[in-house]
Structure 1
Amino acid sequence: MASSSRNRYLPVKNGLKSFWLKQPHELSDHRSTSTIPEQSDIIIIGAGYAGVATAYHLLKEGTGAAAGLNITILEARGASSGATGRNGGHLRPDLYGHIPKYIDRAGVRAGAEVAEFEIENMWAIKKAIEDEKIDCDFTLVRCVDVYCNTKDATNAKASYDKLVALELDYMKDMFFTADPKEAEAYSGVKGALVAVSFTAGTMFPYKFILGLLKILLATGKVNLQTHTPVLSVERDEKRGYAVSTERGTVYAKQVVHASNGYVAGLLPEYERNIIPCKGICTHIEMPEQNRGTAPLFTNSYSLANDDNTSSYLIPRLDGSIIVGGSRQKFRPFKEQWYHNVDDSILIDASKDHYEEYMQRTYRGWEKTDAKVSSIWTGVMGYSFDSNPHIGSVPSKPGQFILAGFNGHGMPVIWLGAKGLAKMILADQRGEKLPFSETGIPRLFQTSQLRIDRAQANKEEDGDILGTGQIFLPKLPIHETHTWKSRL
């Protein structure tokens, strides 16, 4: 691959500082050794949520000979400086939004697997945080989805009614009202037409991942090399793969691609499958003297305003707010966000959207003088068909991928990494673990079919630029798939 093509997918050196990154962790710029190792059993590209979670599960799942594996994590910038250190901290499983679409494509069981997996992911993260005693502001909340325009409200009710009729057990956790007076009273959102709520979580994602990294590095089995961009991954007949970086080359039998929106730089076959797309997020706080004047926030939110602009929001324990989204505002200006990896520049089309957002949107916030105290952008990986790509890279034995989370990685990556770790360890033993035994939803499995499908179709036919209705035939699903929820 030409270097000019590769450079298109390298992170810029000086991205905007997010609220989460303002106080760097002691391991932010850590290098376990002064030079990169010459050889490693497994190389993981990316020290964000996906890469660190994979390393964690490799160590947890590894037994016997696999318990002695050594892992090298290569990161282009500081640890967790990409999407993980820039997201909204919202651990929100999708119980109904996209699920009817997946059901239409692949059947009820395949669609329901996604919702059940995301719920399970939330509880598994909670347990890991408690077991490892990681201080990352984790809280369980009710996520309140609110719709203030007729189209979105109508669609939300249709999705809810469809899933209730299918008698999916997880729907018992949901509260739903399509009475505007009830919706506004329950949510506190002005002009609410529909309100839905269910269990979700909020957290400080950067602290979570750096807390895990500290645990991993203490084992002596993980070598972290920050500020070490990977330039190429080439087959080496004797040593597996040669992973070239700006600081030298390291060899390994197995390589894990966990760089999300940047992944096509090293795996060009995914260029049409996983597109780097920028988003915007803010931190909002009110003057200290006004704290206590606004209604108490104990819920997180996903909200579609009356102008069809969507946002997500979490309350912080200090009374401040994290809110981001507004994709509908900048969607027409493709050059500002689509196929764009420059997180040092804000998205002009929506950079002012969250000024006085709380006053405009929520009852009781009109006189709080709440203001945007910090605003940033980040690069996400959006997949052509809206599903992540997890598993063995087709036609590249020993290479694996965990990427393409569509801005929705928080409730997917943890157990996705656990399932991938099982595949990697089986490969170490010379075995092939069936994807159906990984615990990952079947729709998330990367495949040559999915790669070819994206390459053969127009970009506007996919979920990224379209209306959320992908104009493709149903995925072929084998009914012998044995995935079962562990709930």
Structure 2
Amino acid sequence: MPKPFLPVPNSTLPFWLTDRSPLDQIRSTPDLPLESDIIIIGAGYAGISLAYHLLTSDPSSSSEAPTITILEARSICSGATGRNGGHVRPDTYSLIPLYINRYGLDAAREVAEFELSHIKAIQDVIRTEAIDDCDFLLTQNMNVFLDQERGNATKEAIEALRKTGCGFVDDIFQIPDRDAESISGVKGAKTAFSFTAGSIWPYKFIMGLLRSILKHGGDRVNIQTTTPVTSVTSDGSIWHTIATPRGTVKAKKVVYTTNAYTFGLLPEYEPAIIPAKGMVAHIVSPTDGKGKRPPFLSQTYILRPDSSDGADYMIVRPDGSIIIGGAHQIHTFPEKGPEGNSEWYGNIDDASLIESTKDYFEGYMQRYFVGWEDTGAVVEGLWTGIMGYSADSAPHIGAIPSRPTQFIAAGFNGHGMPVIFLSTKGLAQMILHDKSFDDTDLPRIYKSSAERLDAIKRGREGGDILQSVTVSSSE
């Protein structure tokens, strides 16, 4: 019996979806179109940004603008993007040493610089398309270590990157250890440093891109929500047949922006992109005078409470409330590793909370932040989301091996905000202009290939539990 692979109904309600757009459950036409040049499966960050780039790409080398159909199982941005931590945080140190060991310095540098470039790219598109309601803030991300040994190891890794000439670490400001607690505001902080990052209302950002898609695309774009795709078949002609409970659509090209749910439609990716369930909280302080006014926090945070691989991620909303997620470090993985914890690993149920984690965020601000002890800050909302963790720590972008005219953008490790927008820009060039992956500006390690899938499969069969699934994210 095949595994269930479609998003579940009655999912938990994230803060980001409490202010819904009129386009939330858009259906451009009452019925599905009979055919389309390009079908995109999934209307989250990857699917919507891809459609945006397909419509706004330089048309000079494309003979005729394509027709595009977007099929979404639930509502727009109802998956991981609408359930994340609202963090736009480039990674310039965490996985970079791993990438250097696996792929070499140049490949690792490509990833760091690519992620950093998202800050300006997102600022630019927000300005160009007048997405004024998405609360984008350019700020600093404060990284705080409560375990001295782990903090020291990270400082050494950053210094090693600096010595190799990696200019991207110049943005990292190291706080003297003696001042780590006073400057970060985190009790017991042993080491801290900061770098440029941003925060955003992800759902409203995606909805802004969607409005632009409708403006640029006109009747060339057809969007169908609550229309899950159950299969994609090809008969050897130029057409693929996409099946849904509402009927079928034929397409010349198919793009899977299905992230954690990819395994159901592309079984060859089951070992490569693993569903991983995360939990996020919305914390508020009383406004009725019953609690002390909390200290103002102007930065986003990554807080690493102990010596494990886990971390908590946090942003401060313009209204002073807190969005915080993580807590994977409190999971007890049996000898089998993360794979043995079905509450988190391989779980696509975002309709229920993670029982072992649901109380973790109660009293969090009082526990960790100086001056919050008497604020009365409480958890106002909890929700779950399903991330697509890549087994080898890098997303899968590009043409799908052995499936002509089919493409993928998935496996973002809960870290899609500083990765997806420009990844789908490169993918649009491949789809529109028949560019090869190597002729785009995408980091080389993002390329999805038969060799990469085979290596992942061999590693999994050999019992290799990959590093990325032990790192808490969903920023």
TM norm structure 1: 0.91
Number of residue pairs matched by the alignment: 458
428, 445, 455: which is aligned to 2:457?
A: 455
Question: 1:269-322 CA deviation, whole Å, 9 max, x = no partner?
Answer: 000000011000010000014587221111000110137452000000001000
Q: Which residue of 2 aligns with 1:481?
A: none
CA–CA distance in 1 between the matches of 2:82 and 2:272?
23
Q: Structure 2: how far apart are the matches of 1:387 and 1:44?
A: 21
Supply the distance in 2 between the matched residues of 1:318 and 1:126 (Cα, whole angstroms): 21
What aligned pairs does 1:348-359 form with structure 2 within 5 A after superposition? 348-359=355-366
- Matched-pair contact (CA < 8 Å) for 2:100–2:107: yes
Cα distance in 1 for partners of 2:325, 2:471 equals: 20
TM-superposed CA distance for 1:465, in Å, is 4.5
Q: Determine if the alignment matches structure 1 residue 169 to structure 2 residue 167.
A: yes
2:109 corresponds to which residue?
112
In the alignment, which residue of structure 1 is the partner of 2:255? 256
CA–CA separation in structure 2 for the residues paired with 1:91 and 1:331: 29
Give SS of 1:215's match.
helix
User: 1:417 aligned to 2:414?
Assistant: no
Residue 354 of structure 2 is matched in structure 1 by: 347
> Which residue of 2 is the match for residue 366 of structure 1?
373
Q: Secondary structure at the match of 2:78?
A: coil
- The separation in 2 between residues aligned to 1:251 and 1:287, in whole angstroms, is 54
Match of 1:208 among 205, 213, 216: 205
| Cα contact 1:178–1:193 (8 A) shared by 2 | no
Q: Which runs of no fewer than 5 residues in structure 1 stay unpaired?
A: 428-432, 469-487
Is 2:388 aligned against 1:381? yes
Residue 311 (structure 1) aligns with: 312
Q: Partner of 1:20: helix, strand, or coil?
A: helix
Asked if structure 1 preserves the Cα contact closer than 8 Å seen for 2:148 and 2:191, the reply is no
The whole-number CA distance in structure 2 between the counterparts of 1:66 and 1:327 is 49
Contact 1:189 1:361 in 2 (8 A): yes
SS in structure 2 at match of 1:77? coil
Letter in 2 for 1:264: F
Query: Which deviates further from its counterpart, 447-456 or 350-359?
Result: 447-456
Q: Tell me the distance in 1 between the aligned counterparts of 2:149 and 2:245.
A: 50
Cα drift, residue 439 of structure 1: 1.0
How far apart are 1:405 and its partner, in Å? Answer: 0.4
| C-alpha deviation, 1:150, in angstroms | 2.8
2:153 match: 155
Find the residue that maps to 1:251 and give its secondary structure: strand
| CA displacement at 1:158 relative to structure 2 | 1.8
Q: Given the alignment, which residue of 333, 337, 342 partners 2:344? A: 337
The match for 1:475 is none
Determine whether 1:139 maps to 2:156: no
Report the more deviating stretch, 41-50 or 282-291: 282-291
Whether contact under 8 Å (1:157, 1:178) holds in the other structure is no
- Say yes or no: does 1:236 pair with 2:235: yes
For residue 127 of structure 1, the aligned residue among 124, 132, 135 is 124
Letter in 1 for 2:466: G
Amino-acid identity (%): 48
Greater CA drift, 261-270 or 299-308: 299-308
Q: 1:120 to 1:467 in 2, by over 3 A?
A: closer
Q: Report the AA paired with residue 457 of structure 1.
A: G
How far has the Cα of 1:461 moved from its partner?
3.2
Task: Give the distance between the partners of 1:67 and 1:162, measured in 2 at CA.
Answer: 50
TM-score (norm 2): 0.93
1:103 corresponds in structure 2 to 100
Give the corresponding residue for 1:434.
436
Structure 2 unaligned blocks of 5 or more: 334-339
Q: Partners of 2:396 and 2:312 in 1: how far apart?
A: 25
Q: Distance in 2 between matches of 1:151 and 1:252?
A: 54
Residue 337 of structure 2 corresponds to none
1:34 equivalent among 30, 35, 58: 30
Structure 1 residue 261 displacement after superposition: 0.3
CA shift at 1:62, angstroms?
Answer: 4.8
- Two-structure CA RMSD over aligned residues (Å): 1.6
Residue 23 of structure 1: CA displacement?
2.1
CA contact (8 A) 1:41 1:254 kept: yes
For the residue of structure 2 that corresponds to 1:417, the secondary structure is: helix
